[in-house]
Amino acid sequence: MFRYFLRRLAGLTPVLGAAIVVTFLAIRALPGDPVGVMLSDHSADVAMATRLRAEYGLDRPLPEQFLRYVWDIFTGNFGLSFRYVHRPVWEVLRDSLLISPLLALGALALALPIGVLLGVQAALHRNTMRDTAIIVSLVAGLSIPNFGIATFLVYLFSVKMNLLPVAGWGQFKQAILPIVVLALPSAAYIARLTRTFMLEVLQQDFIRTARAKGLAERLVVYRHALGNTLVPLSTSAGIMFGGLLSNTVVVETIFNIPGLGRLAIDSIFARDYPVAMAVVILFVLFYALINLAVDLFYALIDPRVRQEIAA
């Protein structure tokens, strides 16, 4: 098991390597001179420009700049920010680091039970009014953009009913609306998947056997049928995490939450590209780690996979 873990961990190298190379090239490919951005109204000061260029390593040949870039990433400070001159990128994003992944995980934790429950209900009552009603709300949930949902919920709960804060970060109350907004489309997606998987599993012979031997319907559905949809569901949950991470950017912007996503957008507008690129690398890393965790999880729950690893 441990060797499997190490092998999967090593499998992340090409993805992270690609992220590092692409972000380096993106910073290099940018039009204009970063030192010009930093100096803004002092742009005529040649001595200062030379000093900054040396401090940021921009006077070095490209291969050396690349090695320094990689070194800065592995030592954890991610180089220096363009906007906050002299400050390492790490200091700029340190306080935001875990907000986006926590929001995404919170949303996943909320979406999974709701989605599975709705999906099972739709599958058990296939082609009835209940199924149709659930499917219609799923299509709506998947089609309305999250900022539209956010607009509606803020209007309802914050402006009209005055129950929850409009925006901000730090209290539990302020996390409720952002997580709900993130979770709704995912819940709809999970419900659709669960319905499909359940309809397939319920046709299987072992379900008929379970019913034939007189097992309670509740056990048949929730232990035998649902248990067998867990593996495909957990894979989808890992992939969904990438979408959730992407959507935190929108939610953090709407609710004024100081997470990595909003920081990346702010940095693009402030031309602070090293910070934006650090967010890219971190997002790729978070996504890779979650999918690694999912792989390990179903190595644990699925005896077939476990055996394959042992062999």
Partner 1 sequence: MSGGKDSADASSGRFIRRFLRQRNAVIGGAIVLVVLAVAILAPWLAPHPFDATDLVNVWAPPDAVNWIGTDKLGRDIASRLIYGARASLMVALSVVAITLVLGVALGMIAGYFGGRTDGILMRIVDVTLAFPEVVFAILVASVLGPGMATVIVSLALVWWPGIARLTRSLVLVQKQELFVDAAIVAGASPGEILRRHLLPNIIAPLIVRASVGIGFIIMAEATLSFLGLGLQEPTPSWGSMIRDGLPALRTDPYLAVSGSIVLGLTIIGFNLLGDGLRDVLDPRLHGR
Does 23 participate in binding partner 1 (rule CB under 8 A)? Answer: yes
Other beta carbons within 10 angstroms of residue 109's beta carbon come to 11
| 154 binding partner 1? (CB under 8 A) | yes
Of 69, 255, 273, 298, the one binding partner 1 by CB under 8 A: 273
Stretch that binds partner 1, among 116-124, 196-204, 211-219, 237-245 (CB under 8 A): 237-245
How many chain residues are in contact with partner 1, going by CB under 8 A? Answer: 48
* Closer residue to partner 1 (CB): 77 or 246: 246
One of 179, 276, 298, 299 touching partner 1 (CB under 8 A) = 276
Q: Which residues contact 203 (CB under 8 A, 6 or more apart)?
A: none
Q: Over 238-251, what HEC string results?
A: HHHHHHHHHHHHHH
- 246 is a site residue for partner 1 (CB under 8 A): yes
In the complex, minimum distance from the CB of residue 178 to partner 1, in angstroms, rounded to a whole number:
15
Q: How far is the CB of 15 from partner 1 (least distance, A)?
A: 4
- Residue 244 CB, shortest distance to partner 1, in Å, is 9
Sign of CA dihedral 164, 166, 171, 175: positive
Contact stretch for partner 1 (CB under 8 A) within 2-10, 143-151, 203-211, 303-311:
143-151
Looking at 111, 179, 180, 254, which residue binds partner 1 (CB under 8 A)?
A: 254
265 near partner 1 (CB under 8 A): yes
- What six digits make up the tokens of 255? 């609710």
Q: Does 58 bind partner 1 (CB under 8 A)?
A: no
Minimum distance of partner 1 from residue 25's CB (angstroms)? 9
Instruction: Work out the number of other CB atoms within 10 angstroms of the CB of residue 196.
Output: 15
DSSP-derived secondary structure letter, 220: I
DSSP H stretches of helix in the chain: 2-10, 13-29, 34-39, 46-55, 62-74, 89-93, 99-124, 129-143, 146-153, 172-201, 205-212, 217-219, 226-254, 260-269, 273-301, 303-310
Contacts of 74 (CB under 8 A, 6+ apart): none
Return residues touching partner 1 (CB under 8 A): 14-15, 18-19, 22-23, 26-27, 29-30, 139-140, 142-148, 151-152, 154-155, 159, 242-243, 245-247, 249-250, 253-254, 261, 264-265, 268-269, 273, 276-277, 279-280, 283-284, 287-288, 291
